[in-house]
């Protein structure tokens, strides 16, 4: 009698399912070969069968997946309320451009540790500072435009002052 392919497949499926169950649940398995050379697996011993050692199945603990919250907390960016050049005032005269003078700022809130101030004179970088004052050692005679920027640690401009104009004399 020939065993249909579907029955062989079903028997193999049952065997694999039995091997995949935990060790304490399944019964002992025996293997034998009949006169025609066919391998037979059963749970009952026969005179010419041998016990099959079934190793415990490899198991892997599943990864812990963090809970995903649909609502992410809002990103709060630090924002400066005010940045203004307070001295010299707009349209002020610098009587002697050869004498050092200070540029003072009104900055609120105070400058954050990772930020810096940048002074531009006539659109050109003059200097950077970590406090509210810049020192200009000398300036050419004539009209000049002053402006200050706040930069973050990456050099991005966070805020800028209004442009003020000053006029410098030289003796």
Domain boundaries, the chain: 5-52, 82-168
| pLDDT (0 to 100) of residue 20 | 59
Q: Rank 2-6, 47-51, 97-101 by mean pLDDT and report only the highest.
A: 97-101
In the predicted structure, residue 171 carries a pLDDT above the cut 70:
yes
Encode pLDDT of 18-29 as tens digits.
Answer: 665 554 455 688
The mean per-residue pLDDT over the stretch 65-84 comes to: 71
Euclidean distance between CA atoms 127 and 120, whole angstroms: 7
pLDDT at 64: 79
Tell which residue, 112, 96, 105, 116, has the closest CA to residue 166.
96
pLDDT of residue 80: 92
Q: Is residue 1 within a helix (H) or strand (E), and if so which, with residue range?
A: none
Helix (H) or strand (E) segment spanning residue 9:
helix 5-20
For domain 82-168, give the CATH number.
2.60.40.10
Q: How confident is the model at residue 9 (pLDDT cuts 50, 70, 90)?
A: low
Percent of the chain exceeding pLDDT 70 equals 78
> CA angle, 128 as apex, 112 and 106 as ends, to 5°?
55
Residues 6+ apart with CB under 8 A from 101: 88, 94, 135, 136, 139
DSSP 128-139: EESSSEEEE---
| Section 63-69 average pLDDT | 71
> What is the per-residue pLDDT across 119-170, written as a single tens digit (0 to 9) for each?
999 999 999 999 999 999 999 999 999 999 999 988 999 999 999 999 999 8
Note the pLDDT of residue 167: 95
CA–CA distances in Å: residue 112 to residues 47, 73, 159:
87, 22, 13
Report the mean per-residue pLDDT for the chain: 84
Confidence of residue 37 (pLDDT cuts 50, 70, 90): confident
Helix (H, G, I), strand (E, B) or coil at 120: strand
Per-residue model confidence (pLDDT) at position 49: 86
User: Distance between CA 40 and CA 29 in Å, rounded?
Assistant: 10
């Amino acid at each position: 009698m020939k065993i249909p392919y579907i029955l062989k497949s079903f028997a193999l499926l049952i065997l694999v399912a039995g091997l995949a169950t935990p060790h304490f649940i399944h019964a002992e398995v025996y293997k034998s070969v009949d006169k025609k050379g066919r391998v037979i697996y059963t749970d009952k011993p026969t005179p010419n069968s041998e016990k099959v050692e079934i190793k415990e199945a490899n198991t892997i603990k599943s990864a812990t997946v963090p809970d995903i919250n649909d609502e992410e907390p809002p990103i709060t960016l630090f924002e400066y309320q005010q940045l203004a050049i307070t001295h010299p005032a707009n349209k002020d005269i610098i009587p002697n451009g050869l004498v050092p003078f200070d540029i003072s700022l009104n900055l609120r809130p105070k400058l954050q540790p990772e930020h810096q101030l940048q002074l531009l004179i006539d659109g050109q970088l003059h200097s950077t500072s970590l406090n509210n004052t810049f020192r200009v050692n000398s300036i050419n005679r004539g009209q000049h435009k002053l402006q200050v920027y706040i930069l973050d640690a990456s050099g991005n401009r966070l805020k800028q002052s209004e442009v003020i104009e000053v006029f410098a004399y030289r003796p």
